């Protein structure tokens, strides 16, 4: 597995280090609900046109499953707080904003939703590393903390200890995402087993935790995205509703998502930092690709770069 960029240097946001860190055929898929049964959904079932598809959640309601049938504009802003209206970028069709769950408040989420029914808001939550600047940093016992992951004040978590870790993440999902009105969660750092976490975490143990995280979000009615883990995308696709990858064109890993998520009609976003994506290939594969600045700043900040393969004014591949 190519060693990808799993974090970025972020100078703002209260000192917190955030991580950046042809048409697919639709078909049936099953969302495994760890510690809660299973839920089957058809990714080809339409829901309000461009808004996406319905998947069953733990309480019998619907979870948003964005479709790969049409392009979805994606605005990722982690190093600066969302500001209305300065950070609003008009788009045609479905538009997604991915912002930090703890630092942004319910008012920011509501402002985005007020733009229209075609706007969805994703809650960024780090589920795989401990961050010293987070308000709940004292909730993590020392036994959970492993090696530094490359960013000052950030350490890998022992994801094998699910009985201790999952309740902490449940509180985060409830307080940072659900209560503020977010539609979905971007759970970051799902890939400890591929790195040097300081614990002998196996692939199976890590994927068990990843599935438990997805199931927990689904039980709250939150759409769950798979962050990176390209080689595990085929096995994790049934458990997640969409995928967000970094640098799959740079590392030649996009096919993992094309043959899993996109093949099942689920949206995939790819963000490149060091080069432009191959837009001809991306659009043909129905993969939402773009080039961004490394720090993922907002549109009003110096250094902002956002070059999507499909312009925001366009709603078709």
Q: Are 74 and 272 in contact (CB under 8 A)?
A: no
| Confidence (pLDDT) at 54 | 57
In a domain, residue 21? The reply is no
| Confidence (pLDDT) at 151 | 81
In a domain, residue 1? The reply is no
Domain of residue 37: give its range. Answer: 28-308
Classified as helix, coil or strand, 197 is: coil
Residue partners of 12: CB distance under 8 A and separation at least 6 = 79, 80, 297
User: For residue 226, what is the domain's CATH number?
Assistant: 3.20.20.70
In a domain, residue 11? The reply is no
- Kindly give the parts of the chain with pLDDT less than 50: 1-51
Counting the structural domains of the chain, the total is 1
In a domain, residue 101? The reply is yes
Please indicate, yes or no, whether the overall pTM of this predicted structure exceeds 0.75.
yes
In a domain, residue 317? The reply is no
In a domain, residue 95? The reply is yes
Measure the CA–CA gap between 41 and 244, rounded to whole angstroms.
21
In a domain, residue 22? The reply is no
pLDDT in tens, 120-166: 999 999 999 999 999 999 999 999 999 999 988 999 999 999 999 99
In a domain, residue 315? The reply is no
Q: The tokens of 240 are what?
A: 């997640």
């Amino acid at each position: 597995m190519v060693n990808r960029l799993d974090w970025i240097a972020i100078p703002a946001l209260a000192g917190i280090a955030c991580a950046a860190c042809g048409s697919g055929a639709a078909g049936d898929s099953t969302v495994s609900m760890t510690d809660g049964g299973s839920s089957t959904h058809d990714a080809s079932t339409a829901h309000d046109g461009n808004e996406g598809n319905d998947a069953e959640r733990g309480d019998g309601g619907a979870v948003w499953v964005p479709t790969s049938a049409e392009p979805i504009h994606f605005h990722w802003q982690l190093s600066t707080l969302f500001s209305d209206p300065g950070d609003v970028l008009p788009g045609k069709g479905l538009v997604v904003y991915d912002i930090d769950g703890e630092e942004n408040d319910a008012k920011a989420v509501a402002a985005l939703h007020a733009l229209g029914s075609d706007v969805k808001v994703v809650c960024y939550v780090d589920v795989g590393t401990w961050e010293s600047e987070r308000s709940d940093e004292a909730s993590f016992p020392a036994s959970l903390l492993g090696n530094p992951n490359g960013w000052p004040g950030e350490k890998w978590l022992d994801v094998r200890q699910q009985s201790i870790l999952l309740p902490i993440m449940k509180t985060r999902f409830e307080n940072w995402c659900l209560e503020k009105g977010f539609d979905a969660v971007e759970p970051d750092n799902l890939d400890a087993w591929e790195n040097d976490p300081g614990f002998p975490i196996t692939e199976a143990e890590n994927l068990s935790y990843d599935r438990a995280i997805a199931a927990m979000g689904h039980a709250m009615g939150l759409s769950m995205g798979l962050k990176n883990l390209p080689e595990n995308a085929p096995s994790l696709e049934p458990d997640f509703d969409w995928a967000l990858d970094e640098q799959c064109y740079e590392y030649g890993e996009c096919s993992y998502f094309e043959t899993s998520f996109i093949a099942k009609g689920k949206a995939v976003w790819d963000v490149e930092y060091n080069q432009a994506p191959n837009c001809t290939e991306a659009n043909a594969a129905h993969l939402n690709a773009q080039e961004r600045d490394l720090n993922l700043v907002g549109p009003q900040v110096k250094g902002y770069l956002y070059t999507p393969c499909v312009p925001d004014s366009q709603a078709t591949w």
